[in-house]
Amino acid sequence: MPNTVAIIQARTGSTRLPGKVMYPLDGQPALKHVVTRAAHADNVTDVVVATSTEPQDDVIAQYAPKFGAKVVRGSESDVLSRFKRAVEEYHPDTILRITGDCPLIDPTTIDSVISPVEAGKAEYASNIGRRTFPRGLDVEAFGSESFKQVLSKSETKAEREHVTPYYRKHPNEFDIKNVTSEAVFDDERYINRTDIRLTLDEADDYRLLKRIYDEIEYEDIISIRDVVDYVDAEDLSELNEAVRQKEI
């Protein structure tokens, strides 16, 4: 089995909602849910939390191992260098990028994005090229060889902070695959649901996510289908529809 490492970038220094990755959802920090859900993907070998060396992120470094993740630390702003450190330490064949503010990240979606990279059909795959999933299910996967090229050529602040822009800005240099919701779901209720926002950026996002984790019964992880059904039944997308996503 290929060595596929999920790298979750996380820090407490959010400008809009400081400390958000440690906000409690069903009694556990949001970051724990991200780690647990990423680990549930069949194709993920290891989960690594990449945080900064800033003192305020000591809490992440302390708790991530208790959540079942390994930890690397590096520059707060140069996130790409944190990924480089994780790759050097854990030697993945395939690298998965997830952000720590996605406590409903979907294991099946993760596997669907990883598959073309592991199969040698893509050097970079994601579900964000043409969005068809709820915001908060964002996944990117790329091979270690193509990542070496990205490391050597990413020079701008945005490229270093956001890790993967070089892939999308230079599509002629890579085999790129965009995974759509039709590849994951076979029911129209879950396809093209860009109207639902399941990421954690502002207080309104937290209200929605807390409601989901408080009200939906689950054993290990919440099914994303149950989430969509609940949001629809209770008309909850209105709770955070005014939140605007920050662009790169």
pLDDT above 90 as % of the chain? 96
DSSP 56-80: GGHHHHHHGGGGT-EEEEE-SS-HH
Q: Which residue has the higher pLDDT, 224 or 247?
A: 224
Tokens of 93: 């064949």
Closest CA to 50 of 36, 58, 61, 38: 61
Q: How many C-beta neighbours within 10 Å does residue 165 have?
A: 17
CA distance 14 to 31: 14
Radius of gyration of the chain measured on its C-alpha atoms = 17
Residue 98 has φ and ψ, to the nearest 5°, of -135, 145
Is the pTM here over 0.95, yes or no? Answer: yes
CATH architecture of 4-240: Alpha-Beta Complex (3.90)
Q: What is the pLDDT of residues 3-16, one digit of tens each?
A: 999 999 999 998 89
Residue 79, pLDDT > 70, answer yes
Q: How many C-beta neighbours within 10 Å does residue 44 have?
A: 20
β-bridge partners, 176: 124
Residue 245, pLDDT > 90, answer no
Residues 160-182 have a mean pLDDT of 97
Tokens of 152: 């050597």
Tokens of 190: 């879950």
Tokens of 44: 């993920």
Q: How confident is the model at residue 2 (pLDDT cuts 50, 70, 90)?
A: confident
pLDDT at position 45 is 98
Residue 236, pLDDT > 70, answer yes
CA distances from 114 to 160, 178, 199, 216 (A): 22, 11, 21, 28
Domain ranges of the chain: 4-240
Residues 14-25 have a mean pLDDT of 95
List all residues 6 or more positions away from 246 whose beta carbon is below 8 Å from its beta carbon.
16, 201
pLDDT at position 15 is 86
Q: How confident is the model at residue 248 (pLDDT cuts 50, 70, 90)?
A: low
CA distance 53 to 11: 10
